[in-house]
A and B are shown apart, each in its own frame.
Chain A
C-alpha cells in the first residue's frame, strides 16, 4: 500500500486524479452529514439562483440542487464502482481462462467475446432498461455490468497469451507448479495494471452510461442521481427559463469525474510501464489496438502453418 502511495506521489497526473476521486468518495460516504435537506423535499421557492442559503440554487420543484448533487454523487459512485467491479471480475476471469487454458475454452470464450463486441451497446442497454421499466440504480448497475465485459476480456486475453509464452511461466510449469498457483501467483500480479485500467475505464463508462440512460427518462425518476437530475431539469425546461445551475451542476459533476478517472488511468499506465513515461497519452487505447494487432498476427501465423 505504501509503495502505491509513493508511486502515486511521483506521478502528478495519477495523484491529481486520485485526489478528485477521493473527494467524490468522501462526498458519497458523508452525504447525510454534509447536507441539511431532504433531496426530494420542497425547501424553497422554485428556480432560485445560487445563493448562500442554496449554494447551487433550487429546482423547479423548489428542491435544493446542492443536496441533490451530494445524494446523486452517492448513487453515481455506488453504481459506477459496483458495475465497474462486475465488469472487471468477468473480464479478468474470462480473459485469463481464455488466454491461459487456450484450446476449446479459448475458442468458446473468444467467440462470445467477439459477438459481444459487434453488438451496439448503448442501444441495447436502452432497450433493456426500457423493457425492465423505470430501472432502479441497482438494475442499471447490473445490466451495464453484465453486458460490458467484452473489451476487458479481450485485452486481458491478449496480454495473458503474451505472458504465457514468457520464460518465467514456462519454467513455473516445468517446476510442476499447479495451474491455480500459476494463475494466481505468476500471472495475476503481472496483469495488475491491465486489470486496474479495466476497472477505472469501466467505472467511467458506467457513470456516463447511467447518466445517459436516466437522462433519457428510462431510469426511475424518483431516485436521486446525476442522470435523473439532468432528466428533471430537461423535463421542467430549466434550459429555456434560464435555470443554468440545474443543468450545469450534474454536467460538471460528470465531466470532472471523467477527467479524474482518465488522469488516473494514464497515470497507472505510466507507472506500470516504464517505457511509456517519456510521453504521456491515451495508453489504454493504444494497448487495446496492440492487443488486436497481436491477435491479427496470431491469426496470420495460424493461416500460414
Chain B
C-alpha cells in the first residue's frame, strides 16, 4: 500500500511539474497570440477591447505569480479557457471532439499489437531457430526502426492514391450521420484500417521481441524442466509456465510504449487527416492556438501518467513481492 501511495505522490508531483512547464512555455515566446492575431490583420483595436479579448483567452496581465496561480486554478478545475481558433468553442469542446478518435486508434492498435505480438513472440521462442522465428524476428526489428511517417505515407500512396482501395482522409464518410447504423460503422472501420495498421506496425515489433527474448531466457530455468519432468503437456508448459512469467515485463513495455504510440498517432492522424488529438494539436500549432496547445499537452501528459500508474498497479497485482511492501 505504501508503494502505491508513493507512486501516486510521484505522479502528482510529475503532473504539477508538467503543468508548470506548460505555463512557462508560451510565456517565453515573444508577444501574445491576441496581439499577433490582430496586428497581422492590420486592425487597430481600442485598448479596452484588446484587454477584454486577452482576458477571454486567459492572457491576463499582471505579476507572474498571480498569472501562475490563476493558471494552476484553471488546470485543477479543468477549466482550460477558450480556443482562439474555434472561438466561441472552449478548449474542452475541442478536446472532447477529438479525444475519442485518438482513443479509438491508440486503443485498438495497442490491443492488436499486444495480443498478436506476444502470441507470435511466444511461438517464436518455443520454436526458436525455426522458419517462423528466423523470418519474423529480424523482420520485427526492421519494423521497429521504421518511423510512423514513412509507414503512413507508404500506405497512403499505395492503397489510398495508387490503388484507390481505401479512403484517404477523415474518420468516416461525411455524407453519413454519426449514428449506430451499419453504414456508419462500416465507414468508420474502413477509414480506420490504414491508421490502425500503421500504429500496429510501429508497436508490434517491440512486443514480439521483448516476449521472445524473455521466454528464451526463462526456458532454461529449473521450474520449466520440472514442469516437463512432471509430464505436463507441451502446451501447458509453454503457456502456463513459460509465457506467464515472460509476460510480466510486457506490462512495463506497455506503459513505455504509450509515449511512442501517442507520437505515432499524432503523425498518422496528420497524414490521414484523421480528426484525433494529434491532428488537433497540429492545427493548433500552425494557428498559434495557445489555449488548445496547453490543453493538449496537459491531456497527453495525463494519459502518460495514467498508463504508467496503471502499469505500476498491474505490477503490484502480478508480482507478489511488491504487495507485501
Contacts and interface: CB of A to CB of B under 8 A. Distances in A.
Tell me the dominant secondary structure on chain A's binding face: helix
A228 B89 CA distance: 34
A286 B216 CA distance: 12
Indicate the member of A118, A215, A217, A251 with the most B CB atoms within 10 Å: A118
A114 B252 contact: no
A114 B13 CA distance: 11
Given A127-B297, A279-B216, A262 B249 contact: no
B157 A239 contact: yes
Interface in B247-270: 249, 252-253, 256, 259, 262-263, 266-267, 270
Nearest to B26: A131
B108 interface: no
Contacts of B144: 262, 282
A280 B138 contact: yes
A122 interface: yes
Contacts of B147: 208, 211-212, 254, 258
A15 to B, nearest CB: 15
Interface in A287-305: 288-289, 292-293, 296-297, 299-300, 303-304
- In the complex, which range does the number of interface residues on chain A fall in? 35 or more
Interface in B125-156: 128, 137-138, 140-142, 144-150, 153-154, 156
Contacts of B286: 130, 217
Interface in A248-265: 251, 254-255, 258-259, 261-263
Given A131-B29, A258-B146, A293-B249, A119 B205 contact: no
Interface in A202-220: 204, 208, 211-212, 215-218
Contacts of B153: 230, 239, 247, 251
Interface in A112-158: 114-115, 118-124, 126-128, 130-131
A215 B285 contact: no
B91 interface: no
A304 B156 CA distance: 54
Q: For the complex, would chain B's binding face be called helix, strand, loop or mixed by DSSP majority?
A: helix
A180 interface: no
Contacts of B142: 259, 262
A262 B140 CA distance: 11
B37 interface: no
Contact of B263 (A123, A230, A255, A261): A123
Contacts of B8: none
A280 B209 CA distance: 10
Given A212-B149, A299-B3, A303-B3, A286 B308 contact: no
B117 to A, nearest CB: 12
B173 interface: no
Nearest to B265: A122
B157 A244 contact: yes
Interface stretch (B65-73, B176-184, B298-306): B298-306
A123 B281 contact: yes
A130 B315 CA distance: 38
Given A123-B296, A127-B285, A118 B137 contact: no
Given A120-B303, A123-B297, A255-B146, 11 more contacts: A115-B18, A124-B297, A131-B26, A212-B267, A251-B150, A251-B154, A262-B141, A281-B212, A285-B210, A285-B253, A286-B213
16 contacts: A118-B18, A118-B308, A120-B259, A120-B300, A123-B262, A123-B263, A126-B266, A126-B281, A130-B286, A218-B285, A251-B154, A266-B141, A279-B128, A282-B205, A285-B210, A289-B210
Interface of A: 114-115, 118-124, 126-128, 130-131, 204, 208, 211-212, 215-218, 230, 239-240, 242, 244, 247, 251, 254-255, 258-259, 261-263, 266, 279-283, 285-286, 288-289, 292-293, 296-297, 299-300, 303-304
